[in-house]
Structure 1
Amino acid sequence: MVETRSGELLLLDFGCSELWSGEASPVVEEGRFDPELTASLNRGGDHEVVGPDAERAAGHLDLASVHGRYAFDVPGDASAVRERLAAVCAGHGLEAELRPIERMPHRERVRRLLDRTPAGTEVPFHGMWGVVVRGVPAGRALPVRGVRMDPEGPDAGRWRSVWVEVAEGDVASSEAIGYVLVDRARLMFADPDALSSWNAGDMEEGLVDLVFWGRDGDAVAARLGAERFDEAGHTVHGWRDRPLDEVRRLGAALREHLEASSAKVATDYRPHDDDHRILAAMRESPSESATADVAGGRVCGFFTSWGDGAFPVYRDLGADGGLLRVRVELGAPEIVARARRMEELWFGSLAKLAIASPGVVRGDGVRWLERYAPRNEQDSGWCVYAGTETQEELDDPGSATLVPLRDLIKGEPDLEAVFATPAPAAFERADDGSWQPIPLPEEP
């Protein structure tokens, strides 16, 4: 369930909710984040398109930073927006200019953008953006529902779509609102007012969790004496409910061990705040979702099940045009395709390692490739050479570097098709740039 007091419904990645300023200025105080992030967040400025033709001119800008008549979080003097506006005015015979304004609180951005587009709009905040709609019933608990992907398909268990049900009825049409940007693999439906009271990053009772997981999780846990936990069917290791000073010591020991070894794990630092409270419930839930009561409203958080990305949000309408649902589409075809690609790059065949010669590592390009039978799960079997190596480098096995195939195709995309060739195989790049098969030398 989700409940709003304002009659407005915001969908955003609440993993980034500590960036949400609420009714306060979005200018970040020194010491809240690390200096580099603070400087980056404070580098932007807000601007407004003004003049007799401001609305029409702003509508022609077609820039990601521009919403309505406002350009938010634009770095520097906004020269790119200014130049684009001048070109639009000249091309359409309009009169408008860009004027800097005080940094606008994020809650005020919601109000102003919805005043212009009450049906719904994207709302930016410090490089992220959510989607907000107006016109949902205030003071009433609204169910949050979802449907999974095909249980017989490759994405079984992942969400196809999740929505807030505003009213019962058959959907006659849908209107696209925009995209919600996800950077922490999670989303939340919330009243913007409730979000302004959300505690993100400020520890309750001074307690913190530090957990890790991944390929070498068991070995790292045994070495450091970490505990084992189950989170919705996933195993993690680490330490829970520990004082901050202790977690700092444990974190330092973990970093030192990872730097001194070849162990690979992902880590997560979890201060006990509102984020921690709802995430803990989400991890224990079969649906990987949970609710929390905040400032007189109820929010609903859930994992996307697709990781990060930009997900489209829609208003589903009845035959009379009334709002029935606010829906985020998580399993759209383009998202499925992107997920497949990411899995191939980071966990599939393109994540496997090739032996790269010093010339290739220097950036001289690949001229010869040889593939032998892989020796282990991480080995692709490929050896790649630039042809610029010295004889001394070729004679020294220690001069070679293990490189993921995905890194090699960044500079030479046509290598991807060649990498699909089964072992044994060998190729040479011809003068016309094509890859030609050649006899395979004896395995080194």
Structure 2
Amino acid sequence: MSPALLGEVTCPSGLLVVVDGGYLRLWSGTGSPAEVDPELLGVSDPEDVRGAGDFEIVGPDAEAAARSFDRQEGVWLYDIPASGIPKVTASFAEHCREHGFTARMQRTERVPHRTRVQRCAPGSFIMFGVPVVAIAGVPTDRALPVYSVQEGEQAQAVIHVADAEVVSRQRIGEIFVDWARYAIADADALTEWRHDEPIDGRADVAFWGRDQERAAAATGAFRVDNGYGWSDVDVADAMERLRQLDSWQQAHPDQKIAVDYRPHSHHWRVMREVRASATVSGTTEVGGAQLLFAMTPHGDGWYPVYAEYGRAGELVKIKLILG
């Protein structure tokens, strides 16, 4: 099967991020992760997340101790929930005693996700438990095509960086996809990413289900993709439509519909392209760069990322293995 072009990405910063696109709502950019609303994580105890801490492993044996402790990459431990800090600290101290390491965990200020990219690339880090892969040495002066490639039974997303012979390969890390989509984006551009906030002050409201026609007749909704609703209305109007639907549902508890509020965010914009594409992929401009979203061919799961290099050590390809 011939490679299919998914789209092109640009990377003005030279640092490229690969991550589950659905989890970009958690991205802190250059701000503290403490500013991210823990309610977005769907955890049972938001205060446990609010009190989370970042730590650096320090001391003469810091690197060896961190490597053998093997909790996160490098000498950094990010996003440890408040309730887990005593246990992790005690476990690390015991690990050092057992192996004769002189090292300790030192609490730091919360580390922005953009800074984590800079520290680890090429490598990976944790964002509220979500693995993120970062690649360094990406060309800053041109668009890079991303292809869907099938090698036997293995599906791949391949970022073509240079026309050169591949002589070495490095596993950079792996991402976990929980939203059936992945994103490839410039690290600096993501600082401007708006996952749920409308970028134009407008939104869509959609509903569907067994009793969608009854709800549409009662609310004056219009036919939209796979259901009914209102498209491209201002946010205040969208909120009023949601209240109208909620009132109808409360008055008719035996009637079944599902309701979705779709603010015109960056995520909405790129996913609109994805859903309309034969390759289930799409691109959008954010923060002076073009990023790409695509659906995974086999749903959710763990997917490794590799960098391939040429004879002079130059980056030739980046491969996301999709099963």
Q: SS in structure 1 opposite 2:35? A: coil
User: Aligned-pair RMSD on alpha carbons?
Assistant: 3.1
Q: Which amino acid aligns with 1:198?
A: W
Would you say 1:14 and 2:21 are equivalent positions?
A: yes
Would you say 1:178 and 2:173 are equivalent positions?
A: yes
Partner of 1:161: 156
Would you say 1:268 and 2:260 are equivalent positions?
A: yes
Q: SS in structure 2 opposite 1:23? A: coil
Tell me how many residue pairs correspond in the alignment.
Answer: 312
Give how far 1:164 is off.
Answer: 1.1
Counterparts of 1:196-235 in structure 2, within 5 Å, are: 196-213=191-208, 221=216, 224-230=219-225, 235=226
Q: Which amino acid aligns with 1:78?
A: I
Partner of 1:69: 75
Rg bigger for which structure?
A: 1
Q: SS in structure 1 opposite 2:283? A: strand
Q: SS in structure 2 opposite 1:143? A: strand
Give how far 1:145 is off.
Answer: 0.7
What is the alpha-carbon distance in structure 1 between the residues aligned to residue 150 and residue 206 of structure 2? Answer: 28
Partner of 1:137: 139
What is the alpha-carbon distance in structure 1 between the residues aligned to residue 36 and residue 67 of structure 2? Answer: 34
Q: 1:301 aligns with which of 293, 301, 308?
A: 293
What is the alpha-carbon distance in structure 1 between the residues aligned to residue 145 and residue 233 of structure 2? Answer: 36
Q: 2:109 aligns with which of 102, 108, 112?
A: 102
TM-score (norm. length: structure 1):
0.62
Partner of 1:239: 230
TM-score (norm. length: structure 2):
0.83
Give how far 1:321 is off.
Answer: 5.5
Q: SS in structure 1 opposite 2:224? A: strand
Q: SS in structure 2 opposite 1:80? A: helix
What is the alpha-carbon distance in structure 2 between the residues aligned to residue 6 and residue 169 of structure 1? Answer: 22
Instruction: Kindly indicate whether the alpha-carbon contact (under 8 Å) linking 1:187 and 1:304 is maintained by their aligned counterparts in 2.
Output: yes
Give how far 1:307 is off.
Answer: 3.5
Instruction: Kindly indicate whether the alpha-carbon contact (under 8 Å) linking 2:149 and 2:158 is maintained by their aligned counterparts in 1.
Output: no
Partner of 1:54: 62
Cα 1:141–1:212 shift into 2, 3 Å: same
What is the alpha-carbon distance in structure 1 between the residues aligned to residue 37 and residue 118 of structure 2? Answer: 28
Would you say 1:91 and 2:98 are equivalent positions?
A: yes
Structure number having the greater strand percentage: 2
Give how far 1:264 is off.
Answer: 5.8
Counterparts of 1:360-375 in structure 2, within 5 Å, are: none
Any unmatched runs of 5+ in structure 2? 1-7
Greater relative contact order (CA < 8 Å, ≥ 6 in sequence): 2
Any unmatched runs of 5+ in structure 1? 115-119, 154-158, 333-444
| 1:192-228 deviation line (CA, Å, top 9, x unaligned) | 0011122233223421112245666666556654433
Q: 1:126 aligns with which of 111, 125, 128?
A: 128
